[in-house]
Chains A and B, each alone.
Chain A
Amino acid sequence: MVKLLQLVFQGLSLGSIYSLIALGFVIVFKGSGVFNFAHGEFVMGGAYIVVVGSGRLPWGAAIGLSCAVLVVVALVCERFLLRPMLGRPLFAVIMVTLGLSIMARALAAMLWGVTDRGNAAAPIGRNVVRIEGVALPWVGIWTIATAAVVVAVLFWFFQHTHYGLAMRATAVHQEAAAAQGIDIRRMFALSWAIAGVLAVAGGIFLGAFPRQVGPSMGFVALAALPAIIIGGFDSLPGAIVGGLAVGLMQVVGSGYLGDFGGGRFHEVLPYLVMLAVLAVRPFGLFGSHDVERV
């Protein structure tokens, strides 16, 4: 029982990170129709700036700097590379973001090398709280708390603010939204900026103890892909549920399936569950069905 609780806690904390990353993918996709494969590299870049910046600045200032840089980078990518792609086939748009991710990885390796750069959340420390034999690392508690706060803020933003409503309207129907006087281009930019901030949040905790900030983070972040599919590409609650589910599957799976399938079965478990979900619901659990006309 203690083992299960322990694994569930670890799974939830990993899952919160995936949820944050998945939210970045989904908000950009809903907001501007682009599926941004470079989001994993945004996460990596955010973590690198925090870890390198906190060598000279206080941790909080480094996070602020990282958010600012990521927002600017996201806005530049959106305005100059992806907006010209409006109306082009999905495949071409995906490919632009894949090209971006290759560039970002090369750039990161030029700037910061290819060795791991340590803990992005060092000030939180490595201490552990023990409750009834279950060890709760502070990092995990912080991760879950931060993800909860971020999700609450996003919920409030989308439900109760002017801009949030405008973004939702744009996501539902761009032309109708434009007819109501909403500046569509500003909504595109806003969705990318939000994704930039989410990438920093995800990056800090993806690069937190016991993991490290390193050049492979972009690929680790792609583990959020099955999370997005399970939840449905265009659903924010889906991203959260999917992220938590993938985190739980990986951690609980690695705890109980260690003797099965070469000890690495938990790595593919999310993908297998994703295929099963797709076999039943081709648009994920919460995704919306496309109605197609000839």
Chain B
Amino acid sequence: MTTSGLIAETYRQELALRRGRAAHAGTLVVVALAVLWPLLLSARWQTAGVFALIAAIAAMGLHITTGLAGQVSLGHAAFVAIGVYSAVWMGVDQGWAWWIWLPASGLAAAVVGLFVGPFALRLRGLYLAVVTVALLSVTQYVWGVWPDLTGGFNGRSAQRWDVRGHSLFSELDVFGIITLNGNQLFWFVCLAILTVMAIGARNLQRTRPGRGWAAIRDRDLAAAVAGVPITQAKVSAFVVGAFFGGIAGALLAAFQSYVVPEQFGLDLSVRYIAIIVIGGLGSVAGVIVGSFFVTILPLIITSLTGLLPFISERPSTSGGFTVDLASAFVYGLAIVLVLVFEPRGLMGLWERFRDVWRTWPWSR
């Protein structure tokens, strides 16, 4: 039974981070995938991969606000947008270095989160959800009427990410072993940031405030009776979530190198919710799986066009069965199906499979 990891026989096993051979193998596969993805796949998949990593950082914030603390937020894209425009302002307009604009744009978003948080004290559920929609439309309005910052309707170019005079977009020779291109560099940088933030998010769950979040998610009134400081817990859920969103925004601006205000609307918020729901609500690994699923989906459908003749690859204004529309449809369908049939998302599917597999042949 030791290999299955179900029962610990020694204290060492009980304390182990991962149990059993299969779990070690799983970790190796994930690490290998993370290293090989940018090295083996084509530029198109590399770009999608970086977008997925950035989306995972942003969704990690929503995971804290909504997945852990249960405060429904349809305005997460607003925090990302604040991260984007603070990074652009600091990086381009002021010409500050990356180690200033990256953390500072997270803090800027967190400050706005501090003002949204108090609304969660008096409002719940739907009322709170629509207040976050209001945040979204107010920020959209601000971007629209502040063309000096955002470039208005046409957008503007974003900051370059220079580390000691070396742009992250140009090729880098690593110890003479391998030459990494811009996408690959971005992948490893974002991967490092995501790893730190994911471990941070996971550890936060087990701190005092983290347990407080779980308590107010389940029932805020009961949590208050049990002595959880509700005001602090709700506001901090928004602040921490917004911080993650702001960091993701700064990365997004640097990677896209051109940003348009329109892209930070309700659609983007829904995308982040879709990520945490499809991945599996309340699970850090689920956030990462979900963001890859949602980001890669259009590419998968594009590669299916060769097999399915009725999907046309070119977008058209007169409609028809195009790749964009088909992937939008499948994306909506995935959200609905996951929620109706497997509320715990892709992670739930995986856990079910894993339990069957490791208790075989005694599984149901």
Contact = CB atoms under 8 A, between A and B. Distances in A.
Interface of A: 29, 35, 81, 84-85, 88, 90-92, 94-96, 98-107, 109-115, 219, 222, 225-226, 228-229, 233, 261-265, 267-268, 271-272, 274-275, 278, 282-284, 292-294
Contact of A233 (B126, B270, B320, B334): B126
Given A90-B72, A99-B332, A100-B332, A115 B343 contact: no
Interface stretch (B131-139, B200-208, B238-246): B131-139
Given A107-B329, A226-B130, A262-B145, A113 B123 contact: no
Contacts of B320: 110
B138 A294 contact: no
Interface string B306-329: 000000000011111110011011
Nearest to A268: B141
A98 B138 contact: no
A229 B333 CA distance: 29
A29 B329 CA distance: 25
A271 B125 CA distance: 17
Contact of B335 (A96, A219, A233): A96
Contacts of A105: 328
Centre residue among A29, A102, A268, A283 by max chain B CB count within 10 A: A102
B44 interface: no
A225 B319 contact: no
Given A113-B318, A294-B222, A262 B131 contact: no
B144 A95 contact: no
Contact of B332 (A102, A111, A275): A102
A91 B221 CA distance: 18
Nearest to A77: B336
Contact of B145 (A35, A94, A225, A261): A261
A81 B336 contact: yes
Given A103-B333, A272-B138, 9 more contacts: A91-B70, A96-B340, A102-B332, A103-B328, A105-B328, A113-B316, A225-B133, A268-B141, A278-B119
Given A262-B144, A294-B222, A106 B340 contact: no
Nearest to B122: A282
Interface string B200-240: 00000000000000000001011001000000000000000
B276 to A, nearest CB: 10
Given A94-B129, A262-B144, A278-B131, A81 B340 contact: yes
A294 B219 contact: yes
Contacts of A219: 266
5 contacts: A92-B343, A95-B274, A100-B336, A110-B321, A275-B134
Contact of A109 (B125, B126, B319): B319
A91 B270 contact: no
A276 to B, nearest CB: 11
B219 A102 contact: no
Nearest to A233: B126
Contacts of A268: 137-138, 141
Contacts of B329: 102-103, 106-107, 110
Main secondary structure of the interface of B (DSSP, over half): helix
A289 B273 CA distance: 28
Contact of A267 (B131, B137, B270): B137
Contact of A106 (B72, B145, B325): B325
Contacts of B328: 102-103, 105-106, 109
Contacts, number: 134
B279 to A, nearest CB: 13
A115 B318 contact: yes
Interface of B: 66, 70, 72, 119, 122-123, 125-127, 129-131, 133-134, 137-138, 141, 144-145, 219, 221-222, 225, 266, 270, 273-274, 277, 316-322, 325-326, 328-329, 331-336, 339-340, 343
A112 B316 CA distance: 11
B131 A95 contact: no
A282 B335 contact: no
Main secondary structure of the interface of A (DSSP, over half): helix
Nearest to B71: A91
B273 A98 contact: yes
Contact of A95 (B277, B321, B325): B277
Contacts of A267: 137, 141
A95 B273 contact: yes
Contacts of B274: 95, 98-99
A114 B319 contact: yes
Contacts of A103: 328-329, 332-333, 336
B243 to A, nearest CB: 22
A84 B337 CA distance: 11
A114 B317 CA distance: 5
The 7 closest A-B pairs by CB, nearest first: A262-B145, A99-B335, A102-B332, A103-B332, A113-B319, A106-B328, A106-B329
A105 B273 CA distance: 18
Contacts of B325: 106, 109-110
B127 A283 contact: yes
A139 to B, nearest CB: 27
A225 B130 contact: yes
B217 to A, nearest CB: 9
B133 A99 contact: no
A221 B250 CA distance: 32
Contact of B339 (A92, A284, A294): A92
Contacts of A272: 134, 138
Contacts of B332: 99-104, 106
A106 B325 CA distance: 5
A282 B130 CA distance: 12
Nearest to A96: B339
A292 B333 contact: no
Contacts of A99: 274, 332-336, 339
Contacts of A233: 126-127
